[in-house]
Structure 1
């Protein structure tokens, strides 16, 4: 311990033997370490021995100038207080959980026609919550599956109230259109009840109910309804086959920890109703040397004390004070929560899987480009996202005076281009030169497919443009009821030079301007430039192909100069296709007979 006026011997003599929390401070009052103890005097006294085996403890005690304590009535209270102080002060020598964000849930609203939606944050809304899910993508996948199976509306209440005709969700068989009374409240309630049973893992009960309804419809000669229920049963059985990866019923989390050098990884597998909802990995910040079980013991209170715990938590090894943690979580949840490490059968296999996930995550982390990871984390902080955007998509539009318009979609995953997921869209329906409508058409085509489950939704969508393009993206996402995706418009600065970009985040008021040296801005520029390059390449290819095969070249009497005049006057071939004979005659050098030939040529296409 450093030389100071702090008389630790006198302090220890007056210290209670009851439970509580202790804080070790530096000379400037910074909290270096927070700990809890069943017996404060015994625990704190151990730090003031002459020698310590742990390098971490020796390094800590060289900086300690003062110790403060808070006495609690019980060890459970001490555990909760310790957790709160660690999260508030983030002491250097404590194990810190880096990922401390709220987790996604599925929310079923309290409404005559309940809404099924993605939810994140404090669960204050009325209705029922299901989860938590390990990631946004897992919650989205579950919602997508539920919409296919039970066709419960995903739209907001305001959107629902103002419909006069069914939306796209009805057309792609993801909703039964209760907004326009295409289904009675009684029938809709049956679908909602089945969806809740499905989320609780009671798939067989749902199947039995649907089979019973199918037989009743058949007996009533309502064969169309019977066929619909038959198809629903088939989809449910298919979903059941995909989701049940273990016959082990229950609600539990499985935790394992892996280590490579100074890097620790904790993997959690989430089992609810016998279904594997997926897994998530965490990389806690660990200062100095710790054992794996110590890291796991420090991580678990920080993780579980702020969320609804499962009925059982299974760990790969015995952790210190597991009984105290179980008692605290049980008291908090209002039901029994068990913390176990000795398991057999299916639970032992889950533990092995969690350990493999942790080891694989460490290997991937070390293999990931450090610069890309830093840029993603910086972008997440700059945009105030819950977590760094692991998957990003960017759209751009390219054309020449409205001719051969092409929209590009490039995909970056883990900060690197994923060229296998790139897509181009030849814009056909939009009027030539209208970038907003071209963007709308491309987004609708792309995200209608993704809503059908034909790919993965991104964490962040970037559109090349300012408020107008962003508003178009917002309207498309509202119409398609796409949730959980952050939207960003990137507009060039006043001089249109790199480094002056204005970032418009959906829901924000003022544009965000990042430093030209910001790694977050560099990543955005890289994605935008790649989308621009990909769009231009597609446009040039389409334009060259169109010009090689242009229908104008097949018209007798229409030379290069007149073809050029027509393209300029009408903004491209699309405009010429839509022109009438009188419109064509108005162009200098185009006679009525030639105008008729041009008109007839496009009518024959």
Structure 2
């Protein structure tokens, strides 16, 4: 069927659409509140994102499934993505098999860690994204309760027939010996019930029962036993204190947050029970079609709730998401609820920073590509700034005006390309005229020598210096070929040509950090040159101040020795060869007497 006709006849209902190429291979699965509007937008919009353009060109056929609600569409989209894994959809796949805490379906149930979920009526809690967290919880349980670790079949018949004998665990106090009927099944099950509550994050009942037991021992003057129970209460309270991060009244809630850059999103999930985080998981999602944070978070929420078997009726998120009527969506504005969403976001940010550090080491190309893409977006550029040049003027106390040009390639200093400029056409300290001169000289030379031009020029200064640099680019015909910005020192505001309103980048953004690094490097490089020049001039002036030494003698000496410093260190014989015995003696004595 003709594509145009297919689009025209699509229903205006919620549903899922699937794009296929000419060979019948599925390209993309998407959900929509209104199928007709959503699918039509792919073919009527002018897509800036390159991959979306490529996708649209490949679409040869469209199929759709109508559902009752947008929430149903989200669930169906998630299932179809997992089933078909289309090329242009983000993948929320995770190859890890997470551990579970299992309470075995048997008489005198064992409690242990496993990665294999067997449907035999046993209870499984998790999955835990951190094995360390699961082990810490199990260690706590073993400290509090004496459970068996053997895999004997402790049926009533086997116990009556005295089939088993107590093992070492009984003798060292880790088991109460149910195999020889030294502990009743009823007593054992009470412990298992308490363990079930602790795993769910409900410590209140366990602490209460231990307190009652402690007071009973104390009343019976069994103070050693009471002390042992007190230690267990302290252990539980300490574990709960470490776990509790919000109001204990917040229970059975899922928390989600997301942070994104140009190519990837990082999403965090917390499960909260009785004010404690009992599960935490962060994922990195590679974007395929410049997806919005809302779309990605909705997909992540559905996937994670399925993966971790969450039955929570309420979720906390930083912005509105559409998940249907069965889930209460809360966007906290203040208090403990707000703090837990902020904590989730902080976890996503830390995870992102860790990934950046890892990628910088193991995949430097991806690190550079990400930063370049981010700079292009942040600075509103037409192309990625792979080659950046930054200019800075130095004229301390109005003397020896110089300028510096530093070059960054792929976000890193390219020191071989740094250049110094002595100001030639400007008298006195005039930053604007000096900037105009050095920018003209730099790019006139690059044009003449056929060298590559930068994609971005950064001027250290505000609107005045930027306007001066623009004059030179206009004369050279480069204004529309190279992007140029100015960075003012006071508030780090960034100025653009013909725009009086500056851009303020996030103080923590990598784009601003690179521009600041450029500016600081240009300043350092310029100051070094300025200092060297002043030192050289000071030495030359010192030569002229020696009694009986004129300008012509100084010129002769500098021509021969190349610098005033070498003149000061020269031997009498070497000086005599150039300027004669009398004047050589005056210079030699001047420096040696110092």
Q: TM-score range by the shorter chain?
A: 0.5 to 0.7
**Could you tell me whether the CA contact under 8 Å between 1:202 and 1:273 is conserved in 2?**
yes
SS in 2 for 1:58: helix
Residue 23 of structure 1: how far off its partner (Å): 0.6
Distance 1:59 1:340 in 2: 38
From 65, 75, 78, the equivalent of 1:80 is: 75
Distance 2:56 2:172 in 1: 65
Does residue 346 of the first structure (1) align with residue 336 of the second (2)?
yes
Residue 244 of structure 1: how far off its partner (Å): 2.3
- In structure 2, the residue matched to 1:33 is 28
Q: Deviations over 1:92-151 (max 9, x none)?
A: 222221326564432223333122122445573324443443333322221111111123
Does residue 304 of the first structure (1) align with residue 291 of the second (2)?
no
- In structure 2, the residue matched to 1:368 is 358
- In structure 1, the residue matched to 2:205 is 205
Residue 39 of structure 1: how far off its partner (Å): 2.7
SS in 1 for 2:345: helix
- In structure 1, the residue matched to 2:320 is 318
- In structure 2, the residue matched to 1:238 is 238
Change (3 A) 1:263 1:198: same
Distance 1:240 1:120 in 2: 26
From 127, 137, 141, the equivalent of 1:142 is: 137
Change (3 A) 1:308 1:113: same
**Could you tell me whether the CA contact under 8 Å between 1:97 and 1:285 is conserved in 2?**
no
Query: What is the number of residues matched between the two proteins?
Result: 356
Does residue 93 of the first structure (1) align with residue 88 of the second (2)?
yes
Distance 1:359 1:315 in 2: 15
- In structure 2, the residue matched to 1:69 is 64
- In structure 2, the residue matched to 1:480 is none
Residue 308 of structure 1: how far off its partner (Å): 2.4
**Could you tell me whether the CA contact under 8 Å between 2:201 and 2:278 is conserved in 1?**
no
Distance 1:311 1:167 in 2: 46
SS in 2 for 1:290: coil
Distance 2:329 2:312 in 1: 10
Change (3 A) 1:368 1:265: same
Distance 2:288 2:312 in 1: 30
Change (3 A) 1:21 1:261: closer
- In structure 2, the residue matched to 1:292 is 293
Task: Return 5+ residue gaps in structure 2 as ranges.
Answer: 365-594
From 3, 6, 10, the equivalent of 2:5 is: 10
Change (3 A) 1:369 1:109: same
Q: Which has the larger radius of gyration?
A: 2
Q: What is the Cα-based RMSD across aligned positions, in Å?
A: 3.1
Residue 355 of structure 1: how far off its partner (Å): 1.6
- In structure 2, the residue matched to 1:449 is none
**Could you tell me whether the CA contact under 8 Å between 2:69 and 2:324 is conserved in 1?**
no
Distance 2:59 2:346 in 1: 39
- In structure 1, the residue matched to 2:455 is none
Residue 61 of structure 1: how far off its partner (Å): 0.3
Q: Deviations over 1:303-356 (max 9, x none)?
A: 22453242322122223xx2xx243xx3xxxxxx32222342112112222222
Distance 2:71 2:346 in 1: 33
- Larger relative contact order (CA 8 Å, sep ≥ 6): 1
SS in 1 for 2:332: coil
Distance 1:288 1:76 in 2: 22
**Could you tell me whether the CA contact under 8 Å between 1:259 and 1:359 is conserved in 2?**
no
Distance 2:171 2:263 in 1: 53
Distance 1:229 1:342 in 2: 40
Deviation larger for 177-186 or 30-39: 177-186
**Could you tell me whether the CA contact under 8 Å between 1:263 and 1:362 is conserved in 2?**
no
Distance 2:311 2:116 in 1: 16
The TM-score, its normalising length taken from structure 1, stands at 0.53
The TM-score, its normalising length taken from structure 2, stands at 0.54
Distance 2:349 2:63 in 1: 39
Does residue 355 of the first structure (1) align with residue 356 of the second (2)?
no
Distance 1:261 1:18 in 2: 32
Q: Deviations over 1:193-246 (max 9, x none)?
A: 222232343323322222222333444555554443333223223333333233
- In structure 2, the residue matched to 1:386 is none
Distance 1:368 1:159 in 2: 50
Residue 282 of structure 1: how far off its partner (Å): 0.3
